[in-house]
Amino acid sequence: MATYDYSITFACYNQAAYTRQCVDSLVRHGVDLARVVAVDNGSADGTREYLESIPLGGRIFNKINLGCGVAWNQGALALQTPWTIVMNNDVLASPGWIEGLIGTAENRGMHIISPSMIEGDADYDPDVYLADASARMKCVLRANVPHAVCVAIHESVWMDIGYFASIPKLWGYEDTMFFHAARKANILSGITGASWLHHFGSITQTAMKRERGLTEKQGLSGRYNYRLLNESWLQRKLQKLRRGRQLKDWRRNELAQYGMTLHGVRKDGQFIWL
């Protein structure tokens, strides 16, 4: 099996139980915790005590919640490796996910790549199911649509377009800006079917919305953050239409060939394929 030089970083804000599950799954699937940097954004629920109890490669404790962009940058800079995997703390890893993720990127000349995922309830056996999905769909790729639930970034990307926007009030828009800059720089990216994760579903953002009195449908980020992309209304509209058509094509083709897609939701004991 090929070995890769990588580090992993995740940001956390409370939700200690999910962080523990995430770390346990990393260990279970062969990740040396010396490769992992955790960045805590001012938790007050025992998260810090837990992080201090495990042999991580790095721990960064911010006094207040500085947002994703700042935390991701802190983690990426703390352990500088050819590949940096930036991920949520509300995910479960699966067998062979590192090899499938970075291996696909290197084989295809990609510098930004995300795994496929199941979101929602974990009322199935993720280890068995996701290992089978990785084997079945290892050749499937969705180009130019990485996601920030988990993304492996090659060190050359930092040099080409820089790091994530370090503006706390963006509250989750940092990934949109980063991927937008990567597309403009013609950096190859995508989602691979050779690597899978289970994602419980934006647990931290949901909790932060409750703290601020927002509804589930309301966004944390500013209403006019899209202006930071410097695109006209027409450009954004056309891109949204193109992405919508492409997603429908991917879904139709993947379902026809594999009976599943690279993005599923688990709800009420059923898989819903997107």
Q: What percent of the chain has pLDDT over 70?
A: 91
* Range from 7-21, 201-215, 254-268 carrying the lowest mean pLDDT: 201-215
* Range from 55-59, 198-202, 209-213, 264-268 carrying the lowest mean pLDDT: 209-213
Between 231 and 21, the more confident residue is 21
Give the mean pLDDT of 168-196. 94
What's the pLDDT score for residue 233? 83
What's the pLDDT score for residue 228? 81
Three-state DSSP string of the chain: CCCCCEEEEEEECCCHHHHHHHHHHHHHCCCCHHHEEEEEECCCCCHHHHHHCCCCCEEEEECCCCHHHHHHHHHHHHCCCCEEEEECCCEECCCCHHHHHHHHHHHHCCCEEEEEEEEECCCCCHHHHHHHHHHHCCCCEEECCCCCCEEEEEHHHHHHHCCCCCCHHHCCCHHHHHHHHHHHCCCCEEEEEEEEEEECCCHHHHHHHHHCCCCCCCCCCCCCHHHHHCCCHHHHHHHHHHHHHHHHHHHHHHHHHHCCCCEEEEECCEEEEC
Residue 263: burial class (beta carbons within 10 Å; 0-12, 13-18, 19+): buried
Q: Is the pLDDT of residue 227 over 90?
A: no
What's the pLDDT score for residue 262? 98
pTM of the model: 0.93
Q: Is the pLDDT of residue 208 over 70?
A: no
pLDDT in tens, 27-64: 999 999 999 999 999 999 999 999 999 999 999 999 99
Provide CB contacts within 8 A for 119, sequence distance 6+. Answer: 198, 199, 200, 201, 263, 264, 265, 266
- Distance (Å, whole) CA 48 – CA 60: 10
Residue-averaged pLDDT of the chain:
92
Q: Is the pLDDT of residue 67 over 50?
A: yes
Sorted by where each starts, the structural domains of the chain and their CATH numbers stand as 6-273 (3.90.550.10)
Between 224 and 47, the more confident residue is 47
pLDDT in tens, 91-116: 999 999 999 999 999 999 999 999 99
CA dihedral 86, 144, 201, 69 (to 10 degrees): 40
